[in-house]
Structure 1
């Protein structure tokens, strides 16, 4: 048996599964102290399933802690940024265009060093060990223990970044070092930004992993646990400590994987209606479609792997205002829904109250809601809710054809009729806890994004190399070497490179190594 947990801004969901069967699933309000909310949800699902903690073999957790910490600029580590690029790139230094408050939180400790590569792998300048050691001595004197290292075109050749890392660890053994080539893709600034973001979460990642480990021990669950990453797969606890940034946006991907599992669909649009927002994404081969453009996180432009998700301000806790022009959201009562909504004795009209008044849900004090909300307001609100959902779906479609849609999340009670542009609307059983189920069924994944020159390596050898690297990453994340499966290989000719330069992306998944 295994347990999946997903922490959202409003609710924390847990699901207990035995093989492919969902034994029990629960939904609880998210607590300010996320770890205690996770403990409460696990305890609750065990009680509902009448299962002893000793029967649990694995726990999977999706958490928003790292995303929240970065966006809110809290609990971040000071970071030293080493860029191996001179004499190039000096006009565009690290942390360019970062919000000043964020730079203030991590410090502006920037070191330019000779090095880097051209797009074809030729050196811009030789690796300069003397400069690296001088920078590391200064970093050590400042007491900084989080280091991000970037180099021009390191996805083609990461040797200089790796040599610099080795020197850092020689001088500062306790340092936590992030290489840009391990996280980002082609594009120096965005790749470097992702590495700095990851390094800033170094101390927090150790604390979060430690708190989850202690929480499970207190529950009597002494088994390995995994954290959801943002491509719909899992990472081992040790891997999360190294790459916490890969958990960003893991909540929507859990919901999408859960939607694929519950509906049986591999190609569809998923609408996950939570307490505050609706997240709309596309399933491709049963996994979330990745964003093809740089993503802004907390005001920082990055290009590491992120799901292609459209978030709109519509959720079960969205505040409805009917004075004059009717509006719904984007503000929400969030986790205070059970206190502030009309259905629960509060004084705030929410989207959930609209669903109750319309007879779409029987929760709370139905009679009170129907007395307080007129039919005209209910009908106008329902029209706007459905119009918002239709517009979001239309924005995520890649053609004018109607598409199947899977509706999940606790706020799915807001949708009561067919939607324009939708060929089939699926609302599977246990859809309210699809996110936790998605966490529980997730596999381990690995991905690589490299540039090859086919004239030098040959196409088959290049593809084999990319797939081998993705397999190694999947195994490092906790995957079973005997169950590796290549799910996607993409070849993209580089228009600004020589005729044979091709960017290759490969993704591999595997079952958890038991």
Structure 2
């Protein structure tokens, strides 16, 4: 393409089955530019969606599932149980089971206690009895575990006993050192995983119907892309991609990345004005968003 602008665009109402609207929009833009999807000219399909976070915000019981949480922390953390700061409605939807067993690390990386396989097997029995399909494994200071053996050892035992049909999320794959933040993010991820898998499989089926054989990518919170397989495993990494997509689009269309290559790029503020909220983001000279350490909310002062 000789231009960095939009070659074709189409806006479609959100359908009950979100895949139908996406398929209709892709089909329309392909027809508008007279491109045969089977001709190999389409190099990739990139989808940005707020479908997953909307399910959480709406506390949608049809899309959220109960989760079992296995904490590797005994004898610590009992005073602050899982879901301690969750909204009550989400807690009722997601809290399926939790236990605190041996494992986890000290702040210097030493083990608190060795993992006891019999304890894990005991949890398997309870998880199976409750019919739970999503499990979070979270160890204290697990991001300090360079080999990942602490959480991964428990994951492997669970997978062996429960089978491959169970979604097992290790917190070290989701978040950083903050224990409750990492646990909460892992719980949200586990609860939405089955729905995310179903949704992304729907995207892939739509591509087949359209005749597209190119890779499918999903936009992430940090402005980068991930494969469909990774998004299905860690959908929480797409939760904040809606505003980020607007930021990245502004960067591309304004040519911010081109200026940065010439050494004259500066940080850029992008304001995304919506119907109910306004999102303000800071773009680095590279055109990628600068991530905040925490959620920042602002308001205009009154008269």
TM-score range, shorter chain: 0.7 to 0.9
The alpha carbon displacement at 1:138 in A equals: 1.5
Partner residue, 1:145: 133
State the distance in 2 between where 1:311 and 1:130 align. 50
- Alignment-derived partner of residue 263 in structure 1: 254
Alignment of 1:267-282 (within 5 A): 267-282=267-282
The answer to whether the 8 Å contact 1:137/1:171 transfers is no
| Aligned positions of 1:451-490 closer than 5 A | none
Gaps of 5+ in 1: 1-16, 296-307, 313-387, 392-514
> Could you say what secondary structure the match of 2:142 adopts?
coil
Q: 1:64 aligns with which of 50, 59, 62?
A: 50
- In 2, the alpha carbon distance for the partners of 1:20 and 1:156 equals 43
Q: Match of 2:251, SS?
A: helix
Report the more deviating stretch, 236-245 or 20-29: 20-29
Structure 1 CA distance for aligned equivalents of residues 49 and 2 of structure 2: 23
Tell me the CA shift for residue 18 of structure 1.
7.5
Q: 1:222 & 1:254 partners in 2: Cα distance?
A: 24
Does structure 2 retain, via aligned residues, the 8 Å contact 1:85–1:124?
yes
TM-score (norm 1): 0.53
What is the 5 A alignment of 1:435-446?
A: none
Q: Count the aligned residue pairs.
A: 284
Q: For residues 67 and 226 of structure 1, what CA distance do their matches in structure 2 show?
A: 18
Q: Kindly tell me: are residues 70 and 249 of structure 1, through their superposed partners in 2, closer, same or farther at Cα, counting changes over 3 Å?
A: same
Q: CA deviation at 1:31?
A: 3.2
* Greater fraction of residues in strand: 1
**If you compute each CA radius of gyration, which structure gives the higher value, 1 or 2?**
1
Which SS does the other structure have where 1:125 is aligned?
Answer: coil
Aligned partner of 2:158 in structure 1 is: 168
Rounded to whole Å, the distance in 2 between the matches of 1:50 and 1:273 is 33
For CA contacts below 8 A with separation 6 or more, give which structure has more relative contact order. 2
Contact 2:96 2:132 in 1 (8 A): no
* Match in the other structure for 1:35: 19
Partner Cα separation in structure 2 for residue 19 and residue 124 of structure 1: 58
Q: Where does 1:59-208 land on structure 2 (aligned, <5 Å)?
A: 59-74=45-60, 75-157=63-145, 158-173=148-163, 174-208=165-199
Distance 1:104 1:34, change over 3 A: same
TM-score for the superposition, normalised by structure 2: 0.88
Structure 2 portions without partners, runs of 5+ = 257-264
**CA distance change for structure 1 residues 156 and 109 in 2, over 3 Å: closer, same or farther?**
same
| Aligned mates of 1:19, 1:154 — CA distance in 2 | 47
Partner of 2:262 in structure 1?
none
Query: After TM superposition, what 4+ stretches of structure 1 lie above 4 angstroms from structure 2?
Result: 17-21
